[in-house]
Amino acid sequence: MYVADQTWPELGDYVAEESVAIVPLGSTEQHGPHLPLATDHLIAEGLAREAADRTGYLCTPTVNVGVSPHHRQFHGTMWVDPPAFRDYVESFTRNLAYHGIDRVVFVNAHGGNVEHLREVGRRLRDDGTIYAVEWMWDESIPELVDEAFEHNGPHGGPKETAMIQHLAPELVREEEFEAARDGGIVDVENAEHLNRHGARTFYDAVENSESGVFGDQTDATPEIGAELFDAAATQLAHLLEWLDEQRIEDLLAPAHVDPQPGSRR
């Protein structure tokens, strides 16, 4: 169920029976010469809508711009400052709570959003407003992702390329695959300059990758993308169903381990 397609009485009927919502979030940022800036939010929205269709739970509109200043040197990248992003996400999640939702899954497809979504979830849980948890698609199927590609990559690599080949093939520039690979870092795990004496001495993607991407995109195919998409959507559906089964009292912040020290003396 997509919230923006419903009428208010229909949504009233939903919250009378259900209390779960799905919130997709991504970014609008460079993904190399072969993928669109929309990559992250297309993946997040695709998985969120698919899981909503499978389970019947409510899906909100997608947050298309995230925390992406580390890609700012590449043309077209958009971003918001972390405090603004956190406050915005927290504010509209409180809107959901006002309307009767008490548990939310942030379906996230952008690494730069992770720590901020976790912080928002903690704020909302600790004050007893709502239980909100961040979910990252590739972390739900790590073994499958690793098996699919010889040289995976965290950004613009074969896993994201395959997903967009499946979701929006018309937006993929396959003639740029080799340029993306050759201008980036193919073997991320063995790139010594990414870790100097235990420190990450860089802040922006352009400091490490001329093309803005990591991994070997030439391994990607739409067939692999379809397999990854289905597997991740299945994991998301299972998470939603598990979340729906929990008592809200068990999801919110536990009480102090000893609320009244010494009271039993």
Q: pLDDT digits over 14-47, tens only? A: 999 999 999 999 999 999 999 999 999 999 999 9
Residue 88 has pLDDT above 70, yes or no: yes
At 99-141, the pLDDT tens digits run: 999 999 999 999 999 999 999 999 999 999 999 999 999 999 9
Q: How far is CA 119 from the centre of its chain?
A: 14
What CA–CA distance (Å, rounded) separates 67 from 122?
18
How much is the average pLDDT of 84-90?
98
Paired with 185 in beta bridges are: 214
Residues 114 and 66: beta-carbon distance below 8 Å: no
> Which is higher by pLDDT, 208 or 229?
229
Mean pLDDT of 199-208: 87
pLDDT at 265 over 60: no
Question: Which residue has 């409510």 as its token pair?
Answer: 58
Give the number of other CB atoms < 10 A from CB of residue 189: 9
DSSP class of residue 105 equals E
Give the tokens for residue 62.
């997608």
- The pLDDT value recorded for residue 200 is 81
- What is the spatial distance between Cα 263 and Cα 50, in angstroms, rounded to a whole number? 52
Residues 20 and 130: their CA atoms lie apart, in Å, by 10
Over pLDDT 70: what percentage of the chain? 97
From the list 100, 106, 103, the residue with the least C-alpha distance to 119 is 106
Specify the pTM: 0.93
pLDDT of residue 264: 58
Q: Does domain 3-251 have CATH number 3.50.40.10?
A: no
Angle separating helix axes 158-167 and 222-245, nearest 10 degrees: 90
The encoded tokens of residue 180 equal 């993306």
At 259 the pLDDT is 66
Cα–Cα distance measured from residue 31 to residue 172, given in angstroms and rounded to the nearest whole number: 11
